[in-house]
Amino acid sequence: MIHNFNAGPSILPREVFEEASVAVLNYNDTGLSILEMGHRTPEFTAIMEEARSLVKELMQLDEHHKVLFLHGGASTQFMQVPMNLLNPKDTVAFADTGVWSSKAIKEARLFGKVEIACSSKEKGYTFIPNDFAVPNDARYFHITTNNTIYGTQWKSIPQTSNVMVADMSSDILSRQLDFNSFGLIYAGAQKNMGPAGVNLVVVDERILGKLKHQIPTIMDYRYHIQEESMLNTPPVFAVYVCLLTLRWLKKMGGVAAIEKRNQEKADLLYAEIDNNELFTTSVQKHDRSLMNVCFAAKNPEHEKMFLDFTVANGVYGIKGHRLSGAFRASLYNAMPLSSVQLLVELMQTFSQSVA
């Protein structure tokens, strides 16, 4: 058995893979593959509607917040968000907390004036800044709620008078937040809610339509809202697999229940990192991510040894990102506690064996 700690694309529930593979051969006894069905058929329209309404239910969204499934990864949103929200002379504020924030900043600069409200760059992105200065006139304040590469996470959402925009790619649907307090939330699906190839966008429609110029139709959220994510052919299979994952999440008890499980998994692993003589982490305690646990061997010679040892025991994907190095164990919603227990046991066995 493989225990998949990959950062993304990443683990999904086993039953989702099973149902998805049946649908590839014969969707719901229609005799058709999900891959060859028209997207305007009653079958697919029902899939899209249910996926949207499950997101609304699980995130407890009000009537102003619209749910969209759009093409492209989160990187497309780095461009599409400022394209929809900024006039050329507008200011936008960013929290710079890692690689993904920096990439979002780079794209926003093409559409307006960027102010960096805070940054943790100088300390290698090992913490979440707790003082930030957001200009009052900033059209929105953008944060990356979970920093996939550095393993930090905003535990509470900054309170400012500005519209909040968040990249939640790697912690979407993993914990309870007041999602209605955001103007816009986006997430590439492949970390915590489905396969690559689709984005979830939740947007408060009241923040749209304030541009003095036109933008291309396919980029304009308002047309996607109007056409209920069917402005053009949606990524049908990716949306279907998201639906299966959303159903699974609801069955598990929803966001509150999964948050409890996620906390338990992360607590177990961080406790081992803190207690085990061989391992360490540079991520500040208060800001540690529940989703991506970054850690290292104190002795660099142990790094490859431990990696080989985990691979030999069915643990897949804990090699760290090329930028942050060492190890990263991603504990997304679908990761069972038993796999985290196994990883902890391997850390213990390894430290006894080299002691």
Ligand X SMILES: *Cc1c(COP(=O)(O)O)cnc(C)c1O
Q: Considering beta carbons, is residue 37 or 149 the nearer one to ligand X?
A: 149
Catalytic annotation on 100? yes
Residue with tokens 């540079």: 282
86: alpha, beta or left? (left if phi > 0; alpha if psi -120 to 50): beta
The yes or no reply on residue 100 touching ligand X (CB under 6 A) is yes
- Distance from C-alpha of 50 to C-alpha of 247, rounded to nearest angstrom: 9
Q: Is there binding between residue 120 and ligand X (CB under 6 A)?
A: no
Number of residues this chain uses to bind ligand X (CB under 6 A) = 12
Shortest CB 55 distance to ligand X, Å: 18
Q: How far is the CB of 333 from ligand X (least distance, A)?
A: 14
In the complex, least distance from residue 252 CB atom to ligand X, rounded to whole angstroms: 22
Which CB, 6 or 75, lies closer to ligand X?
75
Per DSSP bridges, beta strands 146-147 and 152-153 are antiparallel
Residue appearing with tokens 């915590």: 192
Query: Catalytic: which of 96, 154, 171, 191?
Result: 191
Among 3, 191, 265, 319, binds ligand X (CB under 6 A): 191
- In the complex, minimum distance from the CB of residue 112 to ligand X, in angstroms, rounded to a whole number: 20
Considering only residues 30 through 59, tell me which ones interact with ligand X, judged by CB under 6 A. Answer: none
113 is catalytic: no
Please say if 191 is a catalytic residue: yes
- The answer to whether 82 contacts ligand X (rule: CB under 6 A) is no
How would DSSP label each residue in 134-192? Answer: --TT-SEEEEESEETTTTEE-SS----SSEEEEE-TTTTTSS---GGG-SEEEEETTTT
Q: Nearest-CA neighbor of 169 among 330, 301, 340, 50? A: 330
Helix, coil or strand: residue 307: helix
Which residue lies nearer to ligand X by CB, 79 or 305? 79
Site string for ligand X, 134-153 (x = CB under 6 A): ----------x---x-----
Does residue 8 bind ligand X (CB under 6 A)?
yes
Shortest separation between residue 87's beta carbon and ligand X, angstroms:
25
- DSSP string computed for 43-112: HHHHHHHHHHHHHHHHHT--TTEEEEEEES-HHHHHHHHHHHH--TT-EEEEEE-SHHHHHHHHHHTTTS
Of 5 and 100, the one with the shorter C-beta distance to ligand X is: 100
Determine which residue in the list 16, 68, 74, 114 makes contact with ligand X, applying CB under 6 A: 74
* Chain residue at closest Cβ approach to ligand X: 73
30: Cα separation from own chain's centroid: 33
For 57, residues 6+ apart whose C-beta sits below 8 A from its C-beta are 250
**Maximum CA pair distance of the chain?**
67
For ligand X, which stretch binds (CB under 6 A), given 72-80, 131-139, 237-245, 322-330? 72-80
Helices 14-25/236-251 angle, 10° precision? 140
Q: Which residues contact 273 (CB under 8 A, 6 or more apart)?
A: 279, 280, 281, 293, 295, 347
Is residue 182 at the binding interface for ligand X, with CB under 6 A as the rule? no
Question: Is residue 333 at the binding interface for ligand X, with CB under 6 A as the rule?
Answer: no
Q: How far is the CB of 106 from ligand X (least distance, A)?
A: 12
Catalytic residue among 96, 100, 204, 265: 100
- Contact between 169 and ligand X by CB under 6 A: the answer reads yes
Residues designated as active site: 100, 167, 191
* Interface ranges with ligand X (CB under 6 A): 8, 73-75, 100, 144, 148, 167, 169-170, 188, 191
